[in-house]
């Protein structure tokens, strides 16, 4: 178990301070410049990182790592770090997808039936 694993995650977090920075992030994610790995660090991820250097390294290997949830906010504040906006997957991803309307998307990383359900919802939103 290691506080240094948390430090690795905290150092990697992209802390977005305001709506302008969020808009800039969204624009950069939608710019066609190759593949980007976007990940979220929530309380569960911090718990997993605490005891697994491998998990920590995989999470820290993301191109963009965003803070997700009050638990991470509290942990950051305990380290005297301003946590920025809560850009969690359930809010940020739908907003990002709305901005990506009309663009092709690739979806992977889960299993059936959730993959097919996600594809159906994306198509209903106007994605091909």
pTM of this prediction? 0.84
**For residue 26, which of 75, 92, 116, 118 has the smallest C-alpha distance?**
92
Distance CA 94, CA 68 (A): 14
Residue where the block lists tokens 């946590």? 83
From first to last of the 128 residues of the chain, give the pLDDT tens digit: 578 998 999 999 999 999 999 999 999 988 877 888 889 999 999 999 999 999 999 999 999 999 999 999 999 999 899 999 999 878 888 888 888 887 777 777 678 898 888 888 878 877 76
Distance CA 58, CA 11 (A): 14
Sign (positive/negative) of CA torsion 93, 18, 28, 42?
negative
């Amino acid at each position: 178990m290691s506080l240094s694993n948390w430090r690795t995650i905290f150092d990697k977090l992209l802390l977005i301070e305001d709506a302008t920075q969020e808009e800039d992030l969204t624009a950069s994610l939608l710019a066609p410049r190759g593949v980007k790995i976007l990940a979220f660090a929530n309380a569960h991820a911090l718990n997993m990182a605490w005891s697994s250097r491998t998990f920590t390294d995989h999470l820290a290997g993301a191109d963009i790592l965003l803070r997700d949830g009050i638990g991470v906010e509290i942990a950051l504040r305990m380290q005297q770090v301003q946590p920025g906006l809560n850009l969690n997957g359930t809010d940020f991803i739908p907003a990002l997808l709305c901005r990506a309307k009309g663009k092709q998307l690739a979806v992977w990383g889960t299993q059936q039936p959730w993959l097919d359900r996600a594809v159906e919802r994306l198509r209903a939103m106007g994605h091909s």
